[in-house]
Amino acid sequence: MKRKLLYFACILTMISLVFSGCASQPKDKQIVEASTDYLRITDDAGRIVLLPKKPQRIVVLSTSFLDVLYGVGGEAVGRPSSKTLAMFPASQIAGEVGYVYNINNEQLLSLQPDLVIGFQGIHEKLIPILESSKIPVMMLKMKTYDDVLVKIKLMGDIVGTQAKAQSVIDKMQMKINEVVAKLPVQSKKVVILHATAKNVTVELEGSIAGNVAKMLKIKNIAVGSKSIDSDPDIAPYSLEKLVEGDADAILVVTMGNMADIEKRMKTDIASNPAWAGLRAVQNGQVFFLPSELFQLNPGIRFHESVEYMAKVVYPEVYGNVK
Amino acid sequence: MLNSKLFPCSGVRERSTWRAFILILFTLLAVGGIILSLTKGALYISLNDIILAIFSDSSGSNRQVIWNIRLPRTLVGALVGVNLALAGAILQGVMKNPLADPHIIGISSGAGLAGVTIMVLFPHKEYLVTPIAFMGAMFAAIFIYILAWKGGIRPVRIILAGVAVSAFLNSGISALMVFYSDRVHGALMWMVGGLSARSWPHLDIIFPYTVVGGILAILGAGRLNILNLGDDIARGLGLNVEVSRIAMTAVASLLAASAVSVVGLLGFVGLIVPHAARLLVGSDYRYLLPASAILGVAVVTLSDTLARVAFSPIEIPVGIIMAFVGAPFFLYLLRRDA
């Protein structure tokens, strides 16, 4: 009986704790809203994130944002494990917190971050844990060029290097303008395939390659078809429509070792009559795009993606790749 | 059984009339499925042009679409339907278990792990997916057989060993997917199973297996009937139960592995089609096998047509459509019969 009472008391205390926790939240908010905080942003998940002071221990959970952060002169104490080469060797000093899709909570918390930057759509499940530890966490997405610009600016605001961020943006924009200025009047039609010839998946406007093509005024013949799921970047597509679309060139976003994939896919495509009948294939206009520029977000190297595709599609204007 | 309900005084003659009727119905469905699959697509091509494209060697875009895309895809789908349905029907008989299908004897997970390993770890060696997946499937089937062998084969042991090995292999697939999540797209599409971009070379791969496997399956129909009487009676009738079981499982493995290596892990056909056929023609394997094969053709071709047309120009992997449309239909059959 005594023990039962004890349990009951425990449960009561817990419940009251939970409720008092809930009740105190709005009060917290009021305090920070008194404009003493360092930064207040709405992240891409629609959450309001408050940074009471300038973050000193940032943990970034996605490589793309890591590059952006270092690009504007920031530093991280934690980064995702990755097999791709980092742009800033300095960023490799930061502690690893596991692979992007499989972040290790304990490692993450042990770094005692005062800001965690996750990728929207991947890291939502970490929000409750971090929030309960009173660690600010923002969910950001970065696909298109516009996203990149916004994120560079945001990182500049976070680390307090607005001027540097602006110069990074200006430099990038200038290089892109140079490329766009030289675009030929007659634009080409392309289709952008995702990764493999085993099935037909096309990249739409929301993907990195699709976005770059749009900036270069290249006509993507798959654009305009709605994707059936919520992810508008890629969609399984009808090969028949590709025949009808009659693209000038086929661009393939690769994953992994590009040279090997290129060799293999070229024979795959040539030996499969379903592909071999396409005009672009017959004319040898099948090109491969490196994964670090078109599969993973290039971030502050976005101009390189633009330059790369321009060279691939209009070699007569921009010269050949490599 | 359904026929006894429809024909209360079911004599031998009525039963065979009923079976003939069902077989003809299935055949019509299959032929209809193939024709529909040829005539419908993201691109509208008139019937005239289709016939022209098939029988004359012109070089227009119609010819390209019909001859190099639609026709081979339809044929690959039809053969995949035959292979998976036959494999399922055989396995359900051999294991005397209604849940037996290519998944149970480890074929899907074996092929799955092998295929996904190639696609994720060695994406530049993608041409190996078909042969390696085939080897993975056969290896898993043999492995399960060895595990289940203890002075003979008992169906329950095979099924339990199959479940365990499948779980083991599937954990490998999941691990690969988690650690290489940036490359899973191709692997994911393959695991769902689809006929996109399948053309003549794929037909060349699967065709010999369908012919050989199909003939062996039909030849084994009598044995399957005897096996279904129970081991003791089968032995009494002079059948070498173990050898028959191993032989028929091997045939099923060949059929399923060749299909899986070409189109990916297409579930459903191997499990549901034989059941649907059984509900309609009964469990005499001399009728059940052809009925399953023909129904398999109908189901795959019709589902693939729907998959291509429903959201055109977006295509849905056929595996999704098949389960989505087929499962409710199967439940209907099941309820009606019960």
> Tell me, what DSSP letter sits at residue B240?
-
- Tens of pLDDT, residue by residue over A227-250, are 445 456 778 888 888 888 888 999
Task: Note the pLDDT of residue A27.
Answer: 40
User: Quick check: A24 pLDDT over 50?
Assistant: no
Name the minimum distance, in Å, from the CA of B51 to any CA of chain A: 17
Q: At what angle are helices A63-71 and A145-159 packed, to 10 degrees?
A: 60
pLDDT of residue B315: 84
A241: three-class secondary structure by DSSP: helix
| pLDDT more than 90, % of chain A | 21
CB contact at 8 A, B213 and B251: yes
Higher pLDDT pick, B2 / A218: A218
Per-residue pLDDT, B207: 92
- Number of residues that this document lists for chain B: 338
**What local confidence, expressed as pLDDT, does residue A200 receive?**
78
| Residue found by looking up tokens 């560079």 in the block | A152
Question: How far is it, in rounded angstroms, from Cα A116 to Cα A128?
Answer: 12
Which among B61, B126, B314 is the nearest to A237, CB-wise?
B314
**Per-residue pLDDT tens over the stretch A170-197:** 999 999 999 999 888 888 999 898 866 6
CB atoms near residue B305 (< 10 Å): 24
Under the banding of pLDDT at 50, 70 and 90, the label for residue A5 is low
The pTM (predicted TM-score) of the whole model is 0.77
Indicate the average pLDDT of chain A: 82
**Could you give the C-alpha distances from A116 to A45, A51, A103, in angstroms and in order?**
14, 11, 12
Give the pLDDT score at A8: 64
Check for a shared fold between A39-162 and A183-318: yes
Tell me how far apart the terminal alpha carbons of chain B are, to the nearest angstrom. Answer: 9
Best of A255, A267, A268 to mutate (most B CBs within 10 Å, chain B): A255
ipTM: 0.71
Q: Pick from B249, B200, B212, B245: which is nearest to B227 by CA?
A: B245
What's the longest Cα–Cα distance across chain A? 89
A12 pLDDT band, cuts 50/70/90, is: low
Among all residues of chain B, which has the CA nearest to that of A246? Answer: B61
Cα gap A207→A297, rounded to integer Å: 9
- A289, containing H or E segment: strand A286-289
Q: Is the Cβ–Cβ distance between A250 and A284 less than 8 Å?
A: no
Series of mean pLDDT values for 10-residue runs along chain B (338 residues): 45 79 92 90 81 75 82 93 93 80 80 85 74 84 83 77 88 84 73 82 89 93 89 86 84 86 82 87 91 94 90 82 80 73
Share of chain A above pLDDT 70, in %: 83
Which two tokens mark A120? 């929207």
Residue of B nearest to A261 (CA): B124
Strand duo A58-60 + A249-253: pairing: unpaired
- Chain A CB contacts of B124 below 8 Å: 256-257, 260-261, 263-264
What is the pLDDT confidence band of residue A1, given thresholds at 50, 70 and 90? low
**What is the structure's pLDDT at A166?**
93
- What chain A residue is nearest to B45 in terms of C-alpha separation? A240
In CATH, which superfamily holds the domain spanning A183-318?
Nitrogenase molybdenum iron protein domain (3.40.50.1980)
- Output the pLDDT for position B85: 94
Top-level class of domain A39-162:
alpha beta
pLDDT of residue A271: 80
* A99 to B178: CB separation less than 8 angstroms, yes or no: yes
Give B154-201 as a 3 state SS string: CHHHHHHHHHHHHHHHHHHHHHHHHHCHHHHHHHHHHHHCCCCCCCHH
Q: How many CB pairs under 8 A join A and B?
A: 142
* pLDDT score, position A6: 62
Contact call for A264 and B126, based on CB within 8 A:
yes
> Best-predicted range by mean pLDDT among A141-150, A196-205, B263-272?
A141-150
Cβ separation of A244 and B126 shorter than 8 Å? no
Q: Which amino acid is present at A240?
A: E
Structural contact between residues A181 and A317, judged by C-beta atoms closer than 8 angstroms? no
Domain spans of chain A? Answer: 39-162, 183-318
Between A152 and A239, the more confident residue is A152
> What are the tens digits of pLDDT across the range B161-196?
888 898 899 899 888 887 776 667 777 777 778 888
Strands A234-236 and A201-203, by their bridges, are antiparallel
Label residue A100 by pLDDT band (50, 70, 90). Answer: confident
A residues 110-169 closer than 8 Å to B (CB): none
Least confident of A28-37, A266-275, B179-188, B203-212: A28-37
B64, B117, B179, B318: best to mutate for the A interface, most A CBs within 10 A? B64
Structural contact between residues A300 and A292, judged by C-beta atoms closer than 8 angstroms: no
Q: How far lies A142's CA from each of A64, A214, A246, A275, in Å?
A: 8, 16, 31, 32
Give the contacts of B331 (CB within 8 A, at least 6 positions apart): none
For A60-90, the pLDDT digits (tens) are 998 889 989 999 998 899 998 877 667 787 7
- pLDDT at residue number B337: 61
- What pLDDT does A164 receive? 92
Q: Which residue in A234, A260, A272 is closest to B197 by CB distance?
A: A272
pLDDT class of A33 with cuts at 50, 70, 90: very low
